[in-house]
């Protein structure tokens, strides 16, 4: 099979997976309304290969079993899910009668005039990703108590027939709690809140406060590193998370604390192309940890930590070879900042004891919801960044960027996500306002994909998402913002 053909198959599988999630979310909501009509449900974020949901009031153990039984029955009955488009005014009136204030607020602040409303028995709802035409296609699911709510568990995109093993992510849960506090500070938890701020002329203020919260967190991480007295800081995260800008901003805060940082990219330690491992299609697999010269990296790190001079390598992606860079020495009051996708994996730095390392995980862990039943995907946030950066600054066309989506995701699931809980600190690089800025960049790019193109469904997903936002002007984004790494005009050099 050709690589492009596989890429298109992967995009279809990702779309089916998203539709699986929407269908299961709809069944959860409908089941709650059938047996606990006074209760509300809010889907907060993704965790432990599922959705963390708050059901108010909270369920007892017996009630959770009853809810799962009701959902199972609805799936086995293969109940039709119908759809009908409504005008904006009609949809607002419907959801006002249903006391769905979150949905009314969203529709009132968007410019979208035609709203698809889905019906399961007599329950109505809207979803950014269309659910399946009936309930019978989502057989694999589970409900599990977690903290104050439950986790709605579902399969991975590669295999919709079974659930993966459950792995609690307590550190990731704590960082979500932290950013819920940020939402309260900003007064923004849903898109409607952001839209209202933009409409009222407070968009610039939201940008400033959000950036200040980012800076405060970076200062906190810097201060923590100082207290821990570690000389090797390892910074990892998935594609387009903003690792490079985060590393540079952390370096500045370390300097403020009197610590001399030495930034090293693990990418400069790539093996020559002749020794790079290949994936199943014969492509060079730079996502693999075996693409890194681990022996040389550890040798240089140990030498630097002993105060010895080291001639740094510089990988040339054009020639596929390493060139000689500058000779450096770590100052006595210095720390190494090593940035790369594998930095949380102990196998990258096996010759450095764990108690000499401080690990930092960076990702765009969104704290914004569309409404109570639709969340903003962290992957979508990073993909918007990648679409803009790669088409504007790296010479890719939008189709090739989309074709890489599944490959990137597979690499992250293998090389990054299993090690998240290894982090000593986590940094959420998402900016609550960024989709409102990205909208002006992405929509013109999206128009290059036509309705009869195989990539149309995928790009429409991002377009439909962005159309929910009121526009914000990129001129208000500061030059040191993480967002500048992707839209340009950053004060940092990359």
110: left (phi over 0), alpha (psi -120 to 50) or beta: beta
Query: Rounded to an integer, what distance in angstroms lies between the CA atom of residue 413 and that of residue 369?
Result: 23
pLDDT per residue as tens digits for the range 238-273: 989 999 999 999 999 999 999 999 999 999 999 999
Per-residue pLDDT, 166: 93
Contact (CB, 8 A) for 245 and 482: yes
DSSP SS3 for 41: strand
d(CA 315, CA 483): 26
Least confident window among 230-234, 299-303, 406-410, 413-417: 406-410
| CA triple 329-333-334, angle to 5 deg | 50
Is residue 129 helix, strand or coil? Answer: coil
Q: Residue 6 — very low, low, confident or very high, per pLDDT cuts 50/70/90? A: confident
The CA-to-CA distance between both ends of the chain, in Å, stands at: 36
CB of 412 closer than 8 Å to CB of 20:
no
Q: Are 250 and 337 in contact (CB under 8 A)?
A: yes
Confidence of residue 387 (pLDDT cuts 50, 70, 90): very high
Average confidence (pLDDT) over 312-329 = 92
Closest-CA residue to 375 (of 99, 152, 143, 63): 152
Is 190:106 a contact under the CB 8 Å cutoff? yes
- With cut-offs at 50, 70 and 90, classify the pLDDT of residue 192: very high
10: Cα within 13 Å, side-chain hemisphere? 16
For 199-214, the pLDDT digits (tens) are: 999 999 999 999 999 9
pLDDT of residue 1: 58
* Residues facing 54 on adjacent strands: 42
What percent of the chain has a predicted confidence (pLDDT) above 70? 99
122-179 residue pLDDT tens: 999 999 999 999 999 999 999 999 989 999 999 999 899 999 999 888 888 887 777 7
Whether the predicted pLDDT of 182 surpasses 90:
no
Least confidently predicted of 119-133, 202-216, 277-291, 351-365: 277-291
Under DSSP, the state recorded for 307 is T
The pLDDT value given to residue 411: 80
Residue 116: name the closest of 101, 94, 100 by CA: 94
Identify the weakest region by mean pLDDT among 14-23, 281-290, 350-359, 469-478: 281-290
Structure token pair of residue 403:
């074709």
68 vs 241: CA distance, rounded Å: 35
Identify the pLDDT of residue 184. 81
Q: Which residues fall within 8 angstroms of residue 375, CB to CB, at 6 or more apart?
A: 43, 44, 45, 46, 51, 366, 369
pLDDT for residue 4 is more than 80: no
What is the C-alpha to C-alpha distance for residues 327 and 333, in angstroms, rounded to an integer?
18
What does the buried/exposed string (b/e) look like for 74-107 if buried means 16 or more CB atoms within 10 Å of the residue's CB? bbeeeeebeeeebeeeebbebbeeeebebbbbbb
Which domains are present in the chain? 3-153 (3.30.980.10), 170-487 (3.40.50.300)
Higher pLDDT, 328 or 9: 328
Looking at residue 61, its pLDDT comes to 97
Q: How many CA atoms lie within 13 A of 351 on its CB side?
A: 11
At residue 132, the 3 state secondary structure works out as coil
Distance CA 352, CA 368 (A): 38
Q: Which of 422, 265, 236, 270 is nearest to 342 (CA)?
A: 236
3-state SS, residue 78 = coil
Region 40-51: mean pLDDT is: 93
3 state DSSP class of 66: helix
Q: pLDDT digits over 408-460, tens only? A: 888 888 888 899 999 999 999 999 999 999 999 999 999 999 999 999 999 99
Give the pLDDT of residue 340: 93
How confident is the model over 169-191, as a mean pLDDT? 83
- Give SS3 for 336: strand
Report pTM. 0.92
E strands present in 260-404? 260-265, 310-316, 321-328, 334-339, 357-363, 369-371, 374-375
Distance of CA 72 to the CA centre of its chain: 30
> Rounded distance, CA 321 to CA 324, Å?
10
Band of pLDDT at residue 407, cut at 50, 70 and 90: confident
Average pLDDT over residues 215-232: 94
At 284 the three-state DSSP class reads: strand
Of the candidate ranges 51-65, 177-191, 332-346, the one whose mean pLDDT is the lowest = 177-191
- Residue with the bigger pLDDT between 183 and 427: it is 427
């Amino acid at each position: 099979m050709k690589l492009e053909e596989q890429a298109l198959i992967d995009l279809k599988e990702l779309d089916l997976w998203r539709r699986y999630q929407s269908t299961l979310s709809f069944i959860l909501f409908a089941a709650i309304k059938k047996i606990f009509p006074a209760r509300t449900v809010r889907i907060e974020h993704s965790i432990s290969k599922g959705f963390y949901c708050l059901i108010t009031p909270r369920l007892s153990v017996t009630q959770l079993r009853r809810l799962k039984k009701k959902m199972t029955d609805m799936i086995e009955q293969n109940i039709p899910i119908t759809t009908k488009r409504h005008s904006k005014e009609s949809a607002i009136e419907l959801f006002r009668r249903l006391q769905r204030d979150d949905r009314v607020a969203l529709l009132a602040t968007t410019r979208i005039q035609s709203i698809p409303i889905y019906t399961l028995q007599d329950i109505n709802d809207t979803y950014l990703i269309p659910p399946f035409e009936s309930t019978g296609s989502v057989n694999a699911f589970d409900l599990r108590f977690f903290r104050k709510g439950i986790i709605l568990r579902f399969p991975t995109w590669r295999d919709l027939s079974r659930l993966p093993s459950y792995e609690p992510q307590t550190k990731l849960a704590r960082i979500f709690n932290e950013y819920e506090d940020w939402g309260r500070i900003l007064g923004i938890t849903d898109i409607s809140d952001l839209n209202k701020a933009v409409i009222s002329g407070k968009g610039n203020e939201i940008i400033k406060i959000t950036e200040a919260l980012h800076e405060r967190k970076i200062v906190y991480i810097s201060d923590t590193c100082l207290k821990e007295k570690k000389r090797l800081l390892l910074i990892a995260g998935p594609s387009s998370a903003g690792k490079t800008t985060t590393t540079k901003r952390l370096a500045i805060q370390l300097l403020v604390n009197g610590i001399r940082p030495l930034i090293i990219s693990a990418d400069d330690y790539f093996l020559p192309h002749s020794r790079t491992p290949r994936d199943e299609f014969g492509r060079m697999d730079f996502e693999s940890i075996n693409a890194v010269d681990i022996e040389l990296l550890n040798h240089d790190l140990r030498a630097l930590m002993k105060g010895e001079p080291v001639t740094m390598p510089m990988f040339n992606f054009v020639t596929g070879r390493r060139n000689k860079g500058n000779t450096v020495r770590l100052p006595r009051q210095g720390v190494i900042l090593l940035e790369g996708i594998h930095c949380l994996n102990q196998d990258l730095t096996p010759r450095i004891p764990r108690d000499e390392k401080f690990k930092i995980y960076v990702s765009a862990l969104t704290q914004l919801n569309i409404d109570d039943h639709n969340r903003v995907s962290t992957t979508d946030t990073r993909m918007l960044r990648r679409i803009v950066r790669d088409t504007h600054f790296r010479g890719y066309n939008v189709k090739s960027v989309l074709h890489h989506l599944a490959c990137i995701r597979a690499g992250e699931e293998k090389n990054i996500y299993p090690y998240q809980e290894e982090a000593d600190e986590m940094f959420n690089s998402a900016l609550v306002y960024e989709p409102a800025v990205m909208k002006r960049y992405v929509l013109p790019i999206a128009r290059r994909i036509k309705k009869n193109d195989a990539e149309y469904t995928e790009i429409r997903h991002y377009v439909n998402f962005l159309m929910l936002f009121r526009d914000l002007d990129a001129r208000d984004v500061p030059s040191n913002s993480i967002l500048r790494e992707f839209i340009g005009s950053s004060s940092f050099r990359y």
